[in-house]
Amino acid sequence: MGKNAEYEKLIQIGRPPNITQRFPHSQALIVSGKVIDQALVKKGRAMTIAANGRNSFIIRGALMAAQRADAALLIEIARSESNYCPTNFYNIALHVDCICNELGITIPVAIHADHYGIKSEADIPFAKMEIPSMFDAGITSIAVDASHMPDDKNLLANLELNPCIPIWAGLETEVGEIKGDQGLSTVDDASFLIKGLNAHGIFADWIALNNGSTHGLEASGQGIQVELTARIHEAIARYGVSGAQHGTSGNNSDKLRAIAAGTHTTKANVATALQMVSWGVEVNDYGNAILDGDGNFKKVAGQGVSEEMWQRMTRYAAEKGWKGGNYKNLNLPFENLLLAQERAVRERMSKAVEEFVYNMLTKVFNAEGTATLAKELILQAGSFDLGPKGKQLENPMEWTKELIVERAKALVVDAGPPGDFDD
């Protein structure tokens, strides 16, 4: 079977039913998140970027980089990001599909709904309506994030919402809200969540931890705690779950290499770094924005947005009182203005993202070649649905609602300080 015939076969069998219905004539290989995870597992000691597509330049650049690197990829947007970015759960697949067809992108890419936050039980009825609609719009993977609630309610929310998620879709769950070095996850609370899901026949592809990472700008210097992550991953390894690393921006390359090599992480979220790179803000080699003595971002002349546009953006931010990480709020009001810039400026914005992502995929994350592995997995399975990595090990009779509540009382956890840690 020749290369063209093989790819046509992948298009026929590798795209989930929501994608074939949404984009019936597309040549974009949009796949389940399970395909991406299992390709990285097959390579071993590797993870790939889940690029937060806060603007269209990021999506374009990340796809071009993954194509160059032959790397499987996720493009994602978080629920909170949908409030301050032009990208949201309902148009992100449209962006990806359009760009893939325009540029001839052939690597497998999953569309991930990140941090679908459940802050309380009152959020669940709306989620039951919204989650199926998101999949109708082209989502192929989701992170159910009920980590803001106590452990028993986190698990019970995951159980209640799972029937809304297609069985073929990628699934991420989270324990320990992302709060930097506060409220760190433990073996106990991670095991509690994964075992409780397993007892009910739910096999998460990824678990996200609070392992010292932060959303936005990493200023503490501590960052991700690799040994803690490895210890938790080993404790739940028999359940077939991989790690999802949040808050990678600002962690140095050596630390990220250690995460890839020494833990079961296959998915690494990158958001703030890609935003800054696309704008032309000066960053260090691992994507943390560099501030001047007044706490302002340093724009590199001739990179990213035009100098005139940057002046407009900074004036607007000043009027709104936005500094530091709150510059993220510029994404929504400025998307049309950024798209209105001349072609050369638009192209250098995407190109900067491409170079940054390519370097991370090939020199830090060890992801090169995983696109080919993902395609092989689809062809071997003869289906878009690769099935779960894990199998049921826990007795459901020991994980009833009543027993879940009782078990949670015995957990020793540190929730950390209250506050808004979304990004």
Per-residue pLDDT of the chain (423 residues; tens, 9 = 90+): 446 999 999 999 999 999 999 999 999 999 999 999 999 999 999 999 999 999 999 999 999 999 999 999 999 999 999 999 999 999 999 999 999 999 999 999 999 999 999 999 999 999 999 999 999 999 999 999 999 999 999 999 999 999 999 999 999 999 986 545 566 999 999 999 999 999 999 999 999 999 986 544 444 446 799 999 999 999 999 999 999 999 887 788 999 999 999 999 999 999 999 999 999 999 987 778 888 888 899 999 999 999 999 999 999 999 999 999 999 999 999 999 999 999 999 999 999 999 999 999 999 999 999 999 999 999 999 999 999 999 999 999 999 999 999 999 999 776 655 554 454
Residue 66 forms beta bridges with which residues? Answer: none
Residues pairing with 51 in the sheet: 75, 270
Which one, of 54, 188, 179, lies nearest residue 114 by Cα? 54
pTM (whole model) above 0.85: yes
CB within 8 Å of 375: residues ≥ 6 apart:
6, 10, 14, 29, 108
- Cα–Cα dist 192/204, whole Å: 13
Torsion sign over Cα 400, 402, 405, 411: negative
Provide the residue type at 113 as one letter.
A
CA distance 339 to 310: 14
pLDDT number for residue 327: 96
pLDDT value of residue 178 = 52
Find the DSSP H helices in 47-186. 56-69, 92-103, 124-136, 151-161
| Phi/psi at 292 (5° precision) | -85, -175
Residue 379 burial (10 A CB sphere; 0-12, 13-18, 19+): middle
383-402 pLDDT tens trace: 999 999 999 999 999 999 99
Neighbours of 60 (CB within 10 A): 26
pLDDT > 70: what percent of the chain?
93
pLDDT value for 294 = 84
CB neighbours (10 Å) of residue 244? 27
